[in-house]
Chains A and B, each alone.
Chain A
């Protein structure tokens, strides 16, 4: 009888560059089952999935539009996770930023656009930070597990926004639960005319560079990585874990807040309660796929943007529900993690 055993030993070197490809391939094979369930041909679906976004200018730009908030939430999660702070709250911090932007956007009517937009960015960043500061302070002052509190606070801010949208902010004309439209001066300028790509993309790229700079070039960044990679040893070596984590958590919250600002000021121009629908959680996928490297997370975010755009066109042309995008993204996360763990193993016959 053939018996196989998995044991710990590095897999052959030639396999390593192939691993991400292998992950994508496995993901497509696994998810093709669901495409079949939706009465579509998986090969056609994946052909559309990967090629249709590139068939015209609009949808190519749309990839970056979809990627913009993901690059930001990906960067947000990256700096937190890299510091050993498990911020699962990017979703809520994004909403906090969006909430601030929706309010500031209505009060900066007469301002010069530069000032108005700066106020939006600053306000959103601060709001994200404030919302992130609650679990962060509980963590560093009282040792309360941040995973649970950030998750709970995600729900809380959605309730707060829902209360505002159904109460004082309800659109008086249409009666829809959406905030008043923001002033023109607060609207993010378009990067490319006749497209949806907005200033937020530039902000996202700047944030990726900032995170990279902090993590790899500054003493603070080295302390952050030390506390993320070996908290006890870092503490022994004099790293102030509490302070380091707090800074990471606040930066993380601020950057997630910027993602909310971008969605309000660049896409929707008002606040709605389904504004995010999981952008914060997808940011966790981006950060993880990127191996907690800011550039890696950025690339992963653009790939996830491609998957989103592809899911839309597959939905339009083949009638496969758009939620296929969520299934593919999450499967890719799990499969990638699994494949990278397998990198440390080798299968042997016994």
Chain B
């Protein structure tokens, strides 16, 4: 008897078939990986199991019983818990309040009582967390522990972890794995969603590989190799895009001098950040999510004003300038959230030209013809699957990112600011974006790459700066950077004096 069995699950989103007759079996007490690239349908399948989506077809069995799961409430009652990639916690509430939310008997809510109960549960499950702390004060790793505790507190016998390591530094990953293995020994069944082969091989007993919404196969760990898994995952040999050749010693184009900034709550988010990016190099900024990357991106994009410091592009001061001025100064910007760089309800052509609208204005009126012509040229050059008159929101993530790349790179910017440029993209689109960034480097642009994907940083960067709590805690040359070294820096374990 399986802890969970899903049979013939089909889920469609419009024309897209996210899950195409998927069968999935989870044994009692195993750690089972759900492996696949972005968009393969892993998360969709598990969101169906957790009641967040409804399957169009198929049936679910829990401990041999056929069940109908229409909301997370049903899933929780069946002993299923899920820790999403984007945490589902309420930041202004305490840890205890978050843990008992929707699962506290009676009418009254007694703060002391729930704090005590949650603290007891934390101790029982060996999860270190303060029950009276406000969630908004917690680090990402702590928040993840709260999520796990929340599921266990609801007596979860099955725990779904959606890409749990994406937000953690290597050292935190070790702690997470220890916790999961201990819980497994106590009888918990775990579904571990990931696209990282080495992790899957480390922690899982069995592996189910999804590709394009279909189940490609379920295998025991001991029966496969990483390269076999990779082949199952992408259906072809992978060829990672990496930087070639040594860094050209170019002139510094982008200078960031002692820049500080506060976040939208008024708390310090950047603390005297100084960086230089030379033409022809990619400087990668590594760090755990929420350590000031967003604010750095905003400050450099012109959507947030720094509280002090200076930003220079080729000697021109663009400190605190608006986005239009910064674009004119020769900075091409790729936003950390695609949807924050594209107005979905406007057309592709309008999005392509909005940044430089004055060039498409004649006698005070829009020159629609030229807008369309220009857009058509870029659509061809960047192989975007869209028409100029399509609404931008109808584009896939990859095509939307290509739209932004086309808009930005066609102007041959002196500085390219790329924030999380491949987040959420499938393998093909990711490779395309990385190739384009390397092309910019070859062309002689100064590229600042801000990414939470350590593999991406290591594959592309000439130099790597690590940001921790709003400070640059170290800058390493690519050849001296190892995941361990970077991991230590990313957790603030030690500071390294720049010698790059």
Task: Confirm or deny: B355 has a beta carbon within 8 angstroms of a beta carbon on chain A.
Answer: yes
Are B341's CB and A236's CB within 8 A?
yes
Q: How far is the CA of A237 from the CA of B355 in the complex (A)?
A: 5
Task: Confirm or deny: B343 has a beta carbon within 8 angstroms of a beta carbon on chain A.
Answer: yes
Task: Confirm or deny: B324 has a beta carbon within 8 angstroms of a beta carbon on chain A.
Answer: yes
Are A218's CB and B324's CB within 8 A?
no
Q: How far is the CA of A219 from the CA of B371 in the complex (A)?
A: 12
Contacts of B344 in A (CB 8 A): 229-230, 233
Contact partner of B357 (CB less than 8 A), chosen from A7, A223, A236, A350, is: A223
Given A5-B54, A230-B345, also A237-B322 (CB < 8 A): no
How many whole Å from B457's CB to the nearest CB in chain A?
A: 23
Given A218-B364, A229-B346, also A237-B354 (CB < 8 A): yes
Chain A residue nearest in CB terms to B361: A219
Chain A residue nearest in CB terms to B333: A236
Task: Confirm or deny: A207 has a beta carbon within 8 angstroms of a beta carbon on chain B.
Answer: no
User: Interface residues of A toward B: which range?
Assistant: 20 to 34
Task: Confirm or deny: B106 has a beta carbon within 8 angstroms of a beta carbon on chain A.
Answer: no
Task: Confirm or deny: A145 has a beta carbon within 8 angstroms of a beta carbon on chain B.
Answer: no
Contact partner of B343 (CB less than 8 A), chosen from A217, A219, A229, is: A229
Chain A 203-226: CB-based contact to B (< 8 A → 1; otherwise 0): 000000000000001110111011
Chain A residue nearest in CB terms to B68: A350
CB within 8 Å of A: which of B256-309? 301-303
Are B345's CB and A236's CB within 8 A?
no
Q: How far is the CA of A235 from the CA of B335 in the complex (A)?
A: 12
Task: Confirm or deny: A327 has a beta carbon within 8 angstroms of a beta carbon on chain B.
Answer: no
Contacts of A240 in B (CB 8 A): 322, 324
How many whole Å from B364's CB to the nearest CB in chain A?
A: 6
Task: Confirm or deny: B365 has a beta carbon within 8 angstroms of a beta carbon on chain A.
Answer: yes
Contacts of B364 in A (CB 8 A): 218-219
User: Interface residues of B toward A: which range?
Assistant: 20 to 34
Task: Confirm or deny: A160 has a beta carbon within 8 angstroms of a beta carbon on chain B.
Answer: no
How many whole Å from A195's CB to the nearest CB in chain B?
A: 37
Are A226's CB and B354's CB within 8 A?
yes
Contact partner of B340 (CB less than 8 A), chosen from A7, A225, A232, A350, is: A232
Task: Confirm or deny: B366 has a beta carbon within 8 angstroms of a beta carbon on chain A.
Answer: yes
Chain B residue nearest in CB terms to A240: B322
Are B350's CB and A236's CB within 8 A?
no
Task: Confirm or deny: A234 has a beta carbon within 8 angstroms of a beta carbon on chain B.
Answer: yes
Task: Confirm or deny: B213 has a beta carbon within 8 angstroms of a beta carbon on chain A.
Answer: no
Q: How far is the CA of A232 from the CA of B294 in the complex (A)?
A: 14
Contacts of B14 in A (CB 8 A): 9-10
Task: Confirm or deny: B73 has a beta carbon within 8 angstroms of a beta carbon on chain A.
Answer: no
CB within 8 Å of B: which of A5-24? 5, 7, 9-10
CB within 8 Å of A: which of B338-364? 339-346, 350-351, 354-355, 357-358, 360-361, 364
Task: Confirm or deny: B41 has a beta carbon within 8 angstroms of a beta carbon on chain A.
Answer: no
Given A222-B357, A226-B346, A230-B345, also A236-B365 (CB < 8 A): no
Task: Confirm or deny: B323 has a beta carbon within 8 angstroms of a beta carbon on chain A.
Answer: yes
Contact partner of A7 (CB less than 8 A), chosen from B54, B301, B322, is: B54
Contacts of B319 in A (CB 8 A): none
Task: Confirm or deny: B327 has a beta carbon within 8 angstroms of a beta carbon on chain A.
Answer: yes
Given A236-B303, A238-B323, also A222-B354 (CB < 8 A): yes
Are A230's CB and B322's CB within 8 A?
no
Task: Confirm or deny: A40 has a beta carbon within 8 angstroms of a beta carbon on chain B.
Answer: no
Task: Confirm or deny: A239 has a beta carbon within 8 angstroms of a beta carbon on chain B.
Answer: yes
Are A235's CB and B366's CB within 8 A?
no
Q: How far is the CA of A239 from the CA of B323 in the complex (A)?
A: 8
Contacts of B303 in A (CB 8 A): 232, 235-236
Contact partner of B350 (CB less than 8 A), chosen from A10, A226, A238, is: A226
Are A238's CB and B354's CB within 8 A?
yes
Given A218-B364, A218-B365, also A236-B346 (CB < 8 A): no
How many whole Å from A345's CB to the nearest CB in chain B?
A: 13
Contacts of B324 in A (CB 8 A): 238, 240
How many whole Å from A247's CB to the nearest CB in chain B?
A: 14
How many whole Å from A316's CB to the nearest CB in chain B?
A: 45
Q: How far is the CA of A313 from the CA of B351 in the complex (A)?
A: 50
Given A217-B366, A219-B361, A219-B366, also A235-B354 (CB < 8 A): no
Given A9-B14, A219-B366, A229-B346, also A238-B340 (CB < 8 A): no
Given A235-B303, A236-B323, A238-B324, also A219-B358 (CB < 8 A): yes
Chain A residue nearest in CB terms to B344: A230
Given contacts A229-B345, A233-B344, A234-B354, 4 further A-B contacts (CB under 8 A): A219-B357, A222-B357, A235-B303, A350-B54
Binding site for B on A (CB under 8 A): 5, 7, 9-10, 217-219, 221-223, 225-226, 229-230, 232-240, 350
Of the A-B pairs whose beta carbons lie under 8 Å apart in the complex, a sample of 25, sorted by A's number, is: A5-B70, A7-B54, A9-B14, A218-B365, A218-B366, A219-B361, A219-B366, A222-B357, A223-B357, A226-B354, A229-B343, A229-B345, A229-B346, A230-B344, A230-B346, A233-B343, A236-B340, A236-B341, A237-B341, A237-B351, A238-B302, A238-B323, A239-B354, A240-B322, A350-B54
Closest 6 CB pairs of A and B: A238-B324, A230-B343, A229-B345, A238-B323, A237-B354, A219-B357
